[in-house]
Structures are given as structure tokens and as C-alpha cells.
Amino acid sequence: MFIGANLQKVRVLYGYSRKELGEALNVSEQAVWQFENQMTTPSFETIVALKRLFSVKTAYFYQEKKAMVVVKEENIAYREADIVSRKKTTAEAEYLNTIYPIISTIESYLDVPKGNIQQIRDTILSCYYSSEEITRVEVQQMAEQAREMLDISLDNSDLLYKIEKSGVHIVEKNIGGKADAYSTWSEDRQTAFIVLGKRKSAVRRNFDLAHELGHLLMHVDREFLSLDKNEYNKLEAEANMFASFFLLPEKEFLQDFSKLNYISNPDSYVELKMKYHVSIQALEMRAYKLGLLTPQQNTYFYRQIAKKNYRKKEPLDEEMILKRPGKIRSIMQLVFSNHLLSLADFLEDLHVETDYVSKLFTIEKEFFSPFQNNESFSDYGKILPAQFK
């Protein structure tokens, strides 16, 4: 029997409205609604079209799937977005609830170290809730403590790797809309996620990572969809402060800034950008908030940013390498290459094609080519991935 809920799940996962899916299938919006509510069954031709569109197997639509709610949509924190629409948030929650069991299955074949993200979170939360109104000084103390516990290098070049190593699942995808990134904890607070947009420079990605880390550590269990604009902006401001303090430790930054000659000239910050892997605008804002520039100098700086067209593209943006999440990819590599699980069995269990997994985790399809004909073996035991020890 055709399971309409499975069609709805994959439709939402891919971000289609019923109307959009109907147009793709050359059927009416009402017909899609009837399919999903099992009032009618799609024709053979429509099933074939659905398989091709979503890169799934026929069995995907005919076998019951146990619903797993790992993430609640109201707990998703977005980076640089207005209060997002319910449709978008539902789709992103569906995405996380889809990838979680897949990641868990792959990780079950390896002895993957748990990491210390929960310990860091609990340490920061005890500070966050120690006072009724959080001050800049307290946010700075929390950021510096988190940085120390993660053991981030001074130049922030290992930021993504160290956050992944701490136990956070980081993935990248086309988020769409105004959001640059988002983060959340699973409902049981055992698993953390950061989802990064793909249209970013290396330095802006670092700020997104630090911003979302701030949400994960300070704003656990906040129901973002229920916040009014002022409450939402307050939490965003706290995450921005956390990111600034986290990426640019005050002592070292003050020493480097004292050597600049033209502090209101954006080009003067290029060397600091190279050193800290932080954008010119974030560097200047850190200095301004420390009282190192006057309001007039700050205004002049941003006039120069506009004049030089640096708002979206700064010097070195193309030269600095954009680092991509690697933990999930590495775990798949270990599992498939060591024959702990064959790619064929993995796909068959999910009732999907390679393109589905490739799209889900933004991993190029060619990555899976060496594993296409592997058989599965179960006598190899578990492997401890050295890169995550």
C-alpha cells in the first residue's frame, strides 16, 4: 500500500509545497494532497517521476517508517534571519530528523569519541543563569572559557574541526531565504547540530560557527518561534557578542590593534584578517566596541566599506580556503572502505539512491563511486577513527 506520509516527509525535506510538487509531476495540488492523505494512489508514471525527483527507491513509498522526532522546530536558532516562516522551519526540522538516524547508524559501526560539548554547555549554562541580566563582561567570560575548553588555536584555523571533534554534528546545505546558518540541540539535549549555508567566505563561515556555538551553549531549550522580535533580537545580540569575544580574545587583539596606523581605513585590517581568519568588518566592530575608535571613525570606516564594495566581498575572501565539515564524510569513508557496511546495504535499508545521500549531506556523488560494488562484512569489529581521538 502506498504510504502518503512518506511522500509528505520527502516533499517537505526537499522544500516543495504541494503546489510546486504538483507542477513538477504535472498533476494538481489537490492530487498531491490526496496522495499524502491516501485518498488516492499515484499512477505508475507518477511513482516513477517521484522516484527520479527525490532519488529514492519504489519501496520508499510502500513501507511504514517509524517517525523519529529528535529535533523540535521551535528550538531551532537561525543566524541573521527575521522570524522565519513556519514552512521553512518545518522543513529544516524534518531535515535534522532525517539525518540524525542516518548519522547514528553510520556511527554505530565505529567507536567514535563522544566529545566534550555537553560538558562545555553545562559549564557555560551555569554562568549564563547565575544572573538575571547578562552583561557584556559575562558573555566575554563565557566565550573565553568555551574557547579554552575547545582548545582553539589563536588564528581560529581549526575552529570547524575542533567543534566537530567536541561532538557537534556540522553539515552544510542550501538553507535558502535570509538565514545564513542555524543550530539546535536534540530534544533529549544529547546531540547538537550546526547547519551552515553554502554561500559564504571562509571568514564569514567562522563567524557563523562561533555565533551558532553561542546559541548552543547559552540558549538551550529556548523556543525561538515563540519569541517576539525584541526577545529574538536580544538572543541574537548575545550570540553575536559571544562570537566576537570568542574569535578575537581581548588581550591578543589589543596588542595587534595597537600596531595599526590607520584604524578607520578598512585596508589596514587585512593583516589582522589573515592572522585571525575573521572579516575586516568584524575586526573593526570588535575594536569599536572596545572603545578604540570614535563614533566618527566608525562612521568613516563604514563609508569606506561601502565605497570599496567590501560589504559582501572583502580582500582575501577568494584566497582564503573555505573549510567544509569533514566528520560525517570521514566516518562514511571508514565504514564503507573497511567493509563494515556496504553502500548497497546502506542504501537499500534507507530505500534511497546515492543521489539522495549526496544531496542530504552535500557530499559529491563521486565520493561514493569506489564503494558501489562493495559487499558487506560483519566480522571486522569496530574501528576507532584516529582523527577524532
For residue 353, is it within any domain?
yes
Axis-axis angle for helices 343-350, 354-361 (nearest 10): 90
Domain identity same for 356 and 223: no
Domain identity same for 196 and 226: yes
Please give the residue range of the domain that contains residue 371. Answer: 327-388
DSSP-derived 3-state class of residue 96: helix
Strands (E), 234-276: none
Domain identity same for 178 and 260: no
DSSP-derived 3-state class of residue 233: helix
Domain identity same for 89 and 150: yes
For residue 340, is it within any domain?
yes
For residue 33, is it within any domain?
yes
Predicted pLDDT of residue 360: 93
Domain identity same for 229 and 129: yes
Domain identity same for 84 and 112: yes
For residue 320, is it within any domain?
no
Instruction: Point out the domain boundary residue: 276, 307, 338.
Output: 307
Instruction: Point out the domain boundary residue: 247, 263, 278.
Output: 247
Phi-psi region for residue 91, left (φ > 0), alpha (ψ -120 to 50) or beta? alpha
Cell reading at 134: 547578562
Domain identity same for 243 and 149: yes
CA–chain centroid gap for 69, Å, is 18
For residue 315, is it within any domain?
no
Predicted confidence pLDDT, tens digits, the chain (389 residues): 899 999 999 998 888 999 999 999 999 999 999 999 999 999 999 999 999 999 999 999 998 877 667 888 778 887 655 555 556 777 888 899 999 999 999 999 998 888 999 999 999 999 999 888 899 999 999 999 999 999 999 999 999 999 999 999 999 998 866 678 899 999 999 999 999 988 779 999 999 999 999 999 999 988 888 888 899 899 999 999 999 999 999 999 999 999 999 999 999 999 999 999 999 999 999 999 999 999 999 999 999 999 999 998 999 999 999 999 999 999 999 999 999 999 999 999 999 999 999 999 999 999 999 998 765 554 445 555 655 55
For residue 16, is it within any domain?
yes
Q: What DSSP line would sit under 274-291, residue for residue? A: HHHT--HHHHHHHHHHTT
Predicted pLDDT of residue 379: 46
**C-beta of residue 103 within 8 angstroms of C-beta of residue 186:** no
DSSP-derived 3-state class of residue 114: coil
**C-beta of residue 166 within 8 angstroms of C-beta of residue 160:** no
Max CA pair span of the chain: 73
Predicted pLDDT of residue 76: 84
Q: What CATH number corresponds to the domain at position 32?
A: 1.10.260.40
Distance separating alpha carbons of residues 115 and 117, to the nearest angstrom: 6
Burial class (CB in 10 A: 0-12, 13-18, 19+), 306: exposed
Tell me the CB-side half-sphere exposure of residue 174, using CA atoms within 13 A: 6
Closest CA to 7 of 39, 45, 37, 40: 37
For residue 370, is it within any domain?
yes
Predicted pLDDT of residue 88: 72
Phi-psi region for residue 192, left (φ > 0), alpha (ψ -120 to 50) or beta? beta
Domain identity same for 349 and 378: yes
At residue 222, what are phi and psi to the nearest 5 degrees? -70, 135
Domain identity same for 237 and 254: no
Instruction: Point out the domain boundary residue: 247, 262, 289.
Output: 247
DSSP-derived 3-state class of residue 218: helix
Distance separating alpha carbons of residues 301 and 39, to the nearest angstrom: 62
For residue 312, is it within any domain?
no
Domain identity same for 254 and 226: no
Predicted pLDDT of residue 385: 60
Predicted pLDDT of residue 163: 98
Domain identity same for 29 and 174: no
Measured over the CA atoms of residue 285, residue 288, residue 290 and residue 293, the dihedral's sign is positive
Give me the number of domains the chain comprises.
4
- Interacting residues of 239 by C-beta distance below 8 A, sequence separation 6+: 77, 79, 211, 212, 214, 215, 218, 219
Specify the DSSP element, H or E, that contains 104. Answer: helix 86-107
Distance separating alpha carbons of residues 202 and 200, to the nearest angstrom: 7
Domain identity same for 128 and 233: yes
Q: Helix and strand tally (H, E) in the chain?
A: 17, 4
Q: Which residue, chain included where needed, has cell 495540488?
A: 29
Cell reading at 176: 535558502
